[in-house]
Amino acid sequence: DAGVTQSPTHLIKTRGQQVTLRCSPKSGHDTVSWYQQALGQGPQFIFQYYEEEERQRGNFPDRFSGHQFPNYSSELNVNALLLGDSALYLCASSARPGQGYTQYFGPGTRLTVL
C-alpha cells in the first residue's frame, strides 16, 4: 500500500518564477492538505482540498493556489516566488476532511528560491 508521495524531491527556482508541486494521497484517502515548513519551524497550514474544492485556507497570499484532480491527487502552485518561499512543502492526506481524521504526510518537496 503506497503512502503519500510527492514530486519532485528537490527544486531550485529564482525569484519571480512559478513552481508546481505534486502530491498523490495514500490509497483510500480523498482529502489533501498542504503545509509549508520553514527551516527550524513547525508546519504552517496552507490549504486543504476535498471533492476538488478548496475547503479551508491558512494565512497565505493568493500567490499560493492549488488544485485537486478527480483521482484525488493534488497540485500546489506558487507564483512570483520570493526568497521567503524557500521551505519544505509537505502534503498530507486523510480519509475525510473533518477534525480528528489522522493525516499521513509525504516526505516533502524541498524548494529553494535564489
Partner 1 sequence: AQSVTQLGSHVSVSEGALVLLRCNYSSSVPPYLFWYVQYPNQGLQLLLKYTSAATLVKGINGFEAEFKKSETSFHLTKPSAHMSDAAEYFCAVQAQFYFGTGTSLTVIP
Q: In terms of CB distance, is 26 or 81 closer to partner 1? A: 26
Residue-wise burial string across 26-41, b where 16 or more C-beta atoms lie within 10 A, e elsewhere: beebbbbbbbbeeeee
Q: Does 60 sit near partner 1 (CB under 8 A)?
A: no
Q: In terms of CB distance, is 26 or 113 closer to partner 1? A: 26
Q: In terms of CB distance, is 69 or 101 closer to partner 1? A: 101
Q: Which three cell numbers stand for residue 102?
A: 489522522
Q: Does 112 sit near partner 1 (CB under 8 A)?
A: no
Q: Does 103 sit near partner 1 (CB under 8 A)?
A: yes
C-alpha angle 67-73-78 in degrees, rounded to nearest 5: 40
Give start and end residues of each alpha helix (H) in the chain.
none
- Tell me the C-alpha to C-alpha distance, in Å, between residue 41 and each of 9, 30, 35, 65: 19, 27, 12, 22
Piece of the chain touching partner 1 by CB under 8 A; list 11-19, 67-75, 79-87, 106-114: 106-114
Residues 24-53 that bind partner 1 (CB under 8 A): 33, 35, 40-45, 48
Contact residues: partner 1, CB under 8 A: 4, 33, 35, 40-45, 48, 56, 58, 90, 92, 97-108
